[in-house]
Amino acid sequence: MPTKKTADTKETAPLTPEVNEADPKAAEKKPAEKKTAAKKSAEKKPAAKKPAAKKTAPKKEQAAELPAQQAEQPAEAPAEPARVEEAPAPVAEVPAAPTMPEPRRSVAFIGSECYPFVKTGGLGDVMYALPKALIAQNCDVKVILPRYKCIPQKYQDKMVFRGDFSMDLTADGRRYYVGIMEYVWDGVVYDFIDNEEFFSWGNPYTNLVDDIPKFCYFAKAALAALNYMNWVPDIIHCHDWQAALVPVFQQAMFQGTPVASAKTVLTIHNLRFQGIYNTQTIKYWTNLPDALFDYAVLKQNWVDANMLKAGLSYASMITTVSHTYAAEIQTPFYGEGLDAHLRYHSGKLRGIVNGIDCEQWDTMTDPLLPVNYGITDVVEKKKADKLALQAALGLEQDENKFVIGLISRLTNQKGLDLINAIMPALMDGNTQVVVLGTGDKEYEDAFRYYENAYKGSVCSNIMYDEGRAHQIYAAADALLVPSLFEPCGLTQLIAMRCGTVPIVRETGGLKDTVQPYNEFTNEGNGFTFDRYEAGLLLDACNRAKTVYFTARDRWDQMVVRDMAKDVSWENSAKQYRDLYLELKP
């Protein structure tokens, strides 16, 4: 906190020193007139010739300049406006002041993963990009993470030891070591909770038997670390079930400590994962009061305790990653057993759509693309990327083919059973499908079969490769996202950023970010369907192909609209900042 405030004063410092430094210099130049003094004595006392005798050449030049200066006094008037133009330069920063409220808000992010240290899904992207965007919104941000053994050594070598202490945790009074390792990058402070007993495993997530104790420890250690470092944030922003016990520990065990004054926000990235385990195990590893293990807080299904449910009960505010998903999870179909609980807490439930890192997905500078392009030349140069991808994957090389990309985890959530149902009808001789991802064996095997059955038209990359993902996003004409449910979805945002038209089901963040194409008004940026039915997915794909093959000018206009759409984190960060100010005016 002190570091950030110092940084603020440095930013505003140039405004005051420009005024203050002028006075001391004027005061210093008065005694120095005889030693240095040719210019000011000449300007203030033109008749003084004794100093001029010592330096005749400069004085002649100055004497020649004096009449010119006196004659050009009217010209000095425009010179002063030139100086006045310098004043707006710092004032140009002032317009940001209304959008960045004072005092600065301090935010502690607590979560289980963060790019580039460790990432298994979209949570890692959010934990990386949102803190950076909040810094631009006048927030001080600290990110607290477990120090997993799988974090690359190049980052671990740059971590700085901040201190350590022991902390009581379990019901039988066992105490555990808590170390704090710090890493600063792009203005964000990352503090890693160090404990070999819990975090020496190779992967961040193993199984619930090991993960429940690990994240019970992590939630309490994160709060204790904030007190230890004497860094008390205005807001503690927790993410998913792995950090859901933070608001519970804060209210139950940290009252009377500095961190108790912070407001808490809990973000649901995927409601399907809740941290449910038997009550006795969670009671032992948390040592929370027995009164909390009832239906209002932790209890579920009589014998189990639900860590996410407890966090939702105690958090000051609940957010999800899209407006539509916030409404959907209050229904039995999407609520994963917590729909009634969420309806009860609906007054503090908000939806804020995620963004993407536009620098990472900039097609003009992306080194992973065969041909770079921008919004002005996307129509022509995207064809070159398509031909390069077709050549690399062994597909028939034809820039007029309609190429559909599918970049996804291969699970039932992603609507892959619908794709299985329509695949033979989709392969009409003018369409190619490129798949990238791993997941359930039944879907991996299905796409391997399609590659063999439709050689030259289907390529199934049963793996994940970052370079190949960039190339598919840039080369494909359309991206398929027919999800059963999708809290936010990043693939459709990346696709639009790359000028690839999304074909999506109207659910969650897909509905919030993709406007259906209207053939009568020539508006919209994608093709959508509502009910989870294979026939509706096929219809959406056929509508897209109809526009592509029969009204290419309209398709090209949609591509340009997609690339012009703002999918950055800036708007999301502003909404989160407003939410923080609502909690802490």
Residue 187: per-residue pLDDT:
86
Instruction: Give me the helices (H) in 136-207, please.
Output: 153-156, 196-199
Residue 145: per-residue pLDDT:
97
Q: Which residues have a Cβ under 8 Å from the Cβ of 79 and sit 6 or more positions away?
A: none
3-class secondary-structure state, position 174: coil
Residue 81: per-residue pLDDT:
46
Q: Which residues have a Cβ under 8 Å from the Cβ of 185 and sit 6 or more positions away?
A: none
Residue whose entry in the numeric block shows the structure tokens 């965007």: 133
Query: 334 and 546 in contact (C-beta within 8 Å)?
Result: no
Domain 99-355+575-583 in this protein, CATH class: alpha beta
Longest dimension (CA), the chain: 102
Q: Looking at the DSSP assignment, which residues form a beta bridge with residue 300?
A: 304
Distance (Å, rounded) from C-alpha 253 to C-alpha 303? Answer: 24
Give me the average pLDDT of each 10-residue run along the chain (585 residues): 38 36 39 39 40 39 38 42 49 48 85 92 90 93 96 95 96 96 93 95 85 97 97 96 97 95 96 95 95 89 93 97 96 96 96 92 95 95 96 96 96 94 95 96 96 96 92 97 94 96 97 96 96 97 97 97 95 94 91
Q: What single string gives the DSSP state of each residue in 77-131?
A: HHHHHHHHHHTHHHHTTTTHHHHS-SSPEEEEEE-S-BTTTB-SSHHHHHHHHHH
Q: Which burial class, exposed, middle or buried, applies to 512 when counting CB atoms under 10 A from its CB (0-12, 13-18, 19+)?
A: buried
Distance (Å, rounded) from C-alpha 442 to C-alpha 480? Answer: 19
- CATH superfamily of the 378-566 domain: Glycogen Phosphorylase B; (3.40.50.2000)
Residue 120: per-residue pLDDT:
85
Residue 153: per-residue pLDDT:
94
Cis peptide leading into residue 46 (ω within 30°): no
From the list 234, 264, 227, the residue with the least C-alpha distance to 102 is 234
From the list 255, 307, 313, 254, the residue with the least C-alpha distance to 285 is 307
Distance (Å, rounded) from C-alpha 572 to C-alpha 496? Answer: 17
Q: What is the pLDDT of residues 60-98, one digit of tens each?
A: 334 333 333 333 344 444 444 444 444 455 555 444 444
| Range(s) within the chain of domains with CATH label 3.40.50.2000 | 99-355+575-583, 378-566
Query: 278 and 300 in contact (C-beta within 8 Å)?
Result: no
Residue 464: per-residue pLDDT:
85
Distance (Å, rounded) from C-alpha 36 to C-alpha 51? Answer: 10
Q: Which residues have a Cβ under 8 Å from the Cβ of 271 and sit 6 or more positions away?
A: 308, 320, 329, 334, 335, 336, 338, 487
Q: Looking at the DSSP assignment, which residues form a beta bridge with residue 458?
A: 433
From the list 447, 382, 377, the residue with the least C-alpha distance to 411 is 447
Q: What is the pLDDT of residues 151-203, one digit of tens each?
A: 999 999 999 999 999 999 999 999 999 999 999 998 899 999 999 999 987 78
Instruction: Give me the helices (H) in 87-244, please.
Output: 88-91, 96-99, 122-135, 153-156, 196-199, 208-228
Residue whose entry in the numeric block shows the structure tokens 């006196």: 70
> Per residue in 254-292, is it b (16+ CB within 10 Å) or e — as a string?
beeeebeebbbbbbbbbbeebbbbebebbbbbbbbeeeb
Residue 122: per-residue pLDDT:
83
